[in-house]
Chain A
């Protein structure tokens, strides 16, 4: 069977004209079965590949470090981090914005590309959605833990209470609560709904009672009747339409945390589009980072094809140039504003004590994606993987540069400072990846990694009867 898949993959990768990666001659008679078998096999085999164990071990270690860090921060106080006055937000909010940004690509791929009928999305959308959920989970931890009294974040929710307290709705942090909350809810629903037919497949293929019961429960009685398919597709379309504005809103609102502040370097109207572009950029980079090893180790190369990687590389190249433009435009506006403070903030960013962070960001986000102008590079999975990693580093630095350098030197030189992270800062950042990858590896093992039903729907075989007409 492996040989067939390989042959199929080769054939598929050759068919790179047009946007449907599966265009061209059918792969074989039993390709639907193969998809089902291959995707389900990860869940069905008694033991996943050794790489999974190694990765899971690392992720779990990082996760426990994360837990220890957060425990320490709750126990001792957030002084365990290096935050201070003037840099009262540092790694904490940088990590938050970074993870929210990562969480962007999922919904974009699922919803926006769905509405735009970009069928190639089907191979990667489940990944991307899972990534979104896990990234939002990572992100949601930071606003809760970064506050001085981390046992009280619920005071930000409009819960009627005996203290007569009510949130203050002029605060962008309050907007964040709703923006991120809505986004997380819709993303989870969208992700879960998309998985229902695949859960049913898992249920049907399960051999053990426990698995059958568990998958049966989450499949919610899916039988695959055409009425169900009809309802399902309607609902999917509706959710996609609901999710689409959220793609724009969530990161726009996150950017308001900064844009509505008075601080030079934050107080910028370009932030909403710039943040959204940056989020898509970083999100796609993360999808690549996850998809390349996954297709390698779980034998899904013929589902997630080179064409997919190439298309994602193109998105990265395009959005990378959008953020590059934004970086330039910030400088222009700072100069054009005529404000001494604005002008200084940007000069200081590029040539002051944090210049190293700024130029790291420029290299990672503007220079490194330029390699994708070469088709050879775009279609090399491991090059894409490396660029994905670099872009993610760059996007983290972008947030740090915006938050840290602006705060470090604001209006009054008397209170300027320089933020130096503590070991707990680094470990918290590293640990958050532990949470992300732990969740992701569990997802790979136990949930349908690829949207089987959707992939099948765009296979040429699905259209055999009508092929000649379209």
Chain B
């Protein structure tokens, strides 16, 4: 729409008399983006809502037409570029920074439209694996609820604005701020390892010398940084080599999922659990089930506050037995704590001490981020004493002089309340939602006259800020960051910003009034020294990282650690009365600090342990629940320090008595149609547990009062979300050993094929002749149960790859979730000492498939390579196949689960679809295909090259995502194939093989390495 030049002579054809006459109102009309000005619509009127939908749709449609190149490279195709085949995916390296560490990724792009995220095998932070959060990045990119344009506060509502308007406004502000050296300016940002951001921070500081930069994120690793300072006198970052450790102790740590470097460590942990090569023994002492605890050989459920005493005890006990302990400072005195008198706890700890002492240089003690610094310090000390430094743990320098988030936010809020802040720039974080409740950030923010927030969504903080600026998604922007080990990693945009988003470095450049303000220019400036050469630069961008930039390790100098004081609570017994209970708050695996809440893939993803989706819950131990009269799936009132929260309770085995666990990140009120948005009366999913968080009770704390309301709450879950009766429990316990075969290392060494002999059956005969001889390719899959930690990355990878719909809470509650791959979770026992095991279940592609025989229309057929193919357009939906499937992996489209795509608002979400996989209509059955599109692609490639498909050439989406490499797919006819070796492995077994289904998916039995003394 070009503005009308009034000086231009009257047009020959005119749109209105006003135009003909060149009236001013017509010019205004032309210049406005929308016919009806945004400001004129009251905020809450339905017209406005409709308008926003249409506006969103038109913007989204702009996205459709604009499957664009990054701006810097835009070129018309006069000739097709070499290597670009239309419709063929191309892969680009990029990275995603979360928790201050980069994870390298490769993103598949179809026609310049990113549709699938994979791990970058060359990157030390990924090693080929991905987490749920990386996988779900695609849906976040195309989320129609993302903020699309700047906005500013006006009266009680918000008015649309532009970047130009913001720039003009900032010019004024700059002038005002320069006068006081920026003393009243604060920048509140998430800690980042980006060198460019650090450089810009310095340059901004040069402009405003008095400015204060505030690091804040609701999820942090502050405790471990402070802990290492306690132990070594300066912050050091620990690097663990789990694959080299033989005895691992995890103290309330979920290092395999909830850590910036979790993917690398999960892979190492998986390798250390290899039963053929001297399997490690894993002990976990934790306050709720973690992914690490789920595969531990021995697990002790203890309240989070008691773990400090455990660390003190270990220090005292180990120092006694280890030579040279005294040289590194006085050991801790033996603690006197009531819970340490418990017979099992004593036994557990003494056996653990013995095991640790017996494995010098081959043990490892890891502490969770939620544990206080003292526990971290003691663990560092013990690792040093045990001779692990240089063997299983090494250290690098960590960022010095960064205060803890919890203190930073409190200090900032105080300054805001004291009116010493008049300009606040918020980069990406959402403190109005997630700041500790006692700080009163939201009220303080109201008193700051000039506030600016850059965010992906117009969220809780954005709504309270004078300015909101849309952020560019990480798939839309240039960026750099360091991996956990310091490797320099780069992010390149896979698509130009769909909306008016800019990255945080671009905003900082704007604020600092830098001469160059685009992301690419900023990056080139930062790395002009190292990567000044264009060839080097291109290689770095191509690889997504610069090899050899790992930070050098430093030898740690252990200092004496003062005697740790244990409060009365920290020395209490195992049982607590109501009002004295412990509350543990932790970020959610799926929603992190809450920023991913509007991602439907993540919010519908069932929790690893409770299998509940669309809600967060309070986990209560069965014994505690019985004492408090709390029933499963009822609402409870949690009260602590005068703060209250009503939340559904789930009675959870493995939870220590007296400790209540709640996940953070839920209960968003200004997010989107998925997570909740007050303006549109869309209720929040889950409840906001930040309401219970204070600077005192930040990670966990005591004094919790639980009041049972008895009110039922409908929880949607994919597995046993109904109270299991005694009959069902009996049935599960008698069969679980046969489905989920498990043995100890001793049993395995005695009879490696023990798993094959766990079920005995008569000779198997079939009515049917095999449909094919399978002498070409013969596809099969193997899943190592020993390695699965239940992280569910495979489920989202499958969802992203195969266009699996999100069905909504009501449908999940009815049992209509559509996951092609699910992870069955089984508990053994119902007490705090319960064990848990995971079993990923996909279609087994039975050679003798029960589903194929019963389909009246032949909609599910067997391929000559042994795939159980589903012919969607032939399916009429009798659902007989689902009934006859013993694995229940077939999912049915009970409704048109794409109905929401008809809403123009959701137009952009269509871009997230994988063009190689059919969208299934209502009324048809669907299921895992072993990623047949990937198989076909590799076969075509191999055929063109006149060879067979090589082993490892095809990776299914689940296999590729798996951080622990528990899933293997390949050709069973290929003698060298890993999957063949695994299926011929003595540990391999076919689940329900006695039904003569001849499944192509086989499991490697779970092996545990228990200490005979604890068995």
Contact = CB atoms under 8 A, between A and B. Distances in A.
A409 B895 contact: no
Contacts of B313: none
Given A84-B815, A261-B854, A153 B824 contact: no
Interface string B881-923: 0111011101111111000000000000000000000000111
Interface stretch (B180-188, B493-501, B727-735): B727-735
Interface in A145-182: 146-150, 152-153, 155-156, 165-168, 170-174, 177
B857 A156 contact: yes
Contacts of A155: 857, 874, 876
Contact of A414 (B738, B839, B855, B924): B839
Contact of B883 (A166, A261, A347, A409): A261
A378 B219 CA distance: 77
Contact of B923 (A85, A149, A348): A149
B892 A88 contact: yes
A56 interface: no
Given A167-B858, A171-B854, A341 B735 contact: yes
A109 B816 CA distance: 44
A85 B880 contact: no
Contacts of A351: 727
Contact of A79 (B732, B816, B921): B816
B739 interface: yes
Contacts of B890: 85
A398 interface: no
A8 interface: no
A168 B839 CA distance: 33
A32 interface: no
A411 B768 CA distance: 23
Contacts of B880: 88-89, 171, 173, 257, 261
B925 interface: yes
Contact of A407 (B727, B824, B883): B883
A416 B856 contact: no
Interface stretch (B435-443, B717-725, B942-950): B717-725
Contacts of A341: 735
B883 A413 contact: no
B992 interface: yes
A90 to B, nearest CB: 10
B728 A340 contact: no
A348 B824 CA distance: 21
A412 interface: yes
B853 interface: yes
Interface string A75-89: 011110011111111
Contact of A85 (B719, B722, B816, B876): B816
A148 B995 contact: no
B876 A156 contact: yes
A171 B892 contact: no
Contact of A148 (B736, B853, B888, B923): B923
Interface residues of B, number: 58
B826 A413 contact: yes
Nearest to A345: B731
Given A174-B856, A414-B825, A88 B879 contact: yes
A299 interface: no
B841 interface: yes
A224 interface: no
Given A148-B893, A353-B725, A412-B739, A85 B734 contact: no
Given A148-B925, A413-B736, A89 B854 contact: no
Contact of B731 (A149, A260, A344): A344
Contacts of B877: 78, 147-149
Contact of A410 (B736, B826, B886, B923): B886
A352 interface: yes
A117 B629 CA distance: 69
Nearest to A420: B814
Interface string B589-609: 000000000000000000000
Contact of B888 (A79, A166, A415): A415
Interface in A310-357: 340-341, 344, 347-348, 351-353
A208 interface: no
A298 interface: no
Contacts of A415: 719, 822, 824, 841, 887-888
Interface string A410-427: 111111111010000000
Contacts of A87: 815
Interface residues of A, number: 56
B531 interface: no
Interface in A36-65: none
B922 A148 contact: yes
A263 interface: yes
B728 A412 contact: no
A410 B186 CA distance: 61
A262 interface: yes
Nearest to B854: A171
Contacts of A348: 727-728, 731
Contacts of B883: 86, 88-89, 261, 263, 407
Nearest to B994: A339
B884 A261 contact: yes
Interface string B809-824: 0010011100000101
A84 B719 contact: no
Contacts of B825: 414
B879 A83 contact: yes
B879 A148 contact: yes
B893 A168 contact: no
Given A79-B895, A148-B876, A413 B731 contact: yes
Q: Which of A153, A173, A410, A412 has the most chain B CB atoms inside 10 A of its CB? A: A412
B728 A149 contact: no
Contacts of B725: 352-353
B195 interface: no
B824 A173 contact: no
B841 A262 contact: no
Nearest to A76: B895
Contacts of A418: 722
A412 B854 contact: no
B752 interface: no
B850 A261 contact: yes
B815 A340 contact: no
A340 B735 contact: yes
A79 B894 contact: yes
Q: Which of A146, A263, A410, A414 has the most chain B CB atoms inside 10 A of its CB? A: A414
A351 B858 CA distance: 38
A132 to B, nearest CB: 24
Contacts of B1011: none
B875 A148 contact: yes
Nearest to B839: A414
A86 B885 CA distance: 9
A147 B732 CA distance: 32
Nearest to A257: B880
B854 to A, nearest CB: 5
A173 B875 CA distance: 14
B878 interface: yes
A255 to B, nearest CB: 14
Contacts of B888: 85-86, 410-412, 415
A77 B877 CA distance: 11
Contacts of B876: 147-149, 152-153, 155-156
Interface in B545-564: none
17 contacts: A84-B894, A85-B891, A88-B880, A89-B880, A147-B877, A147-B879, A148-B892, A165-B874, A171-B854, A173-B854, A260-B853, A352-B727, A411-B992, A413-B728, A413-B735, A415-B719, A415-B822
Interface of A: 76-79, 82-89, 146-150, 152-153, 155-156, 165-168, 170-174, 177, 257, 260-263, 340-341, 344, 347-348, 351-353, 407, 409-418, 420
Given A84-B814, A149-B924, A409-B728, 4 more contacts: A89-B880, A411-B992, A414-B841, A418-B722
The 3 A-B residue pairs with the shortest CB-CB distance, nearest first, are A148-B877, A148-B923, A414-B824
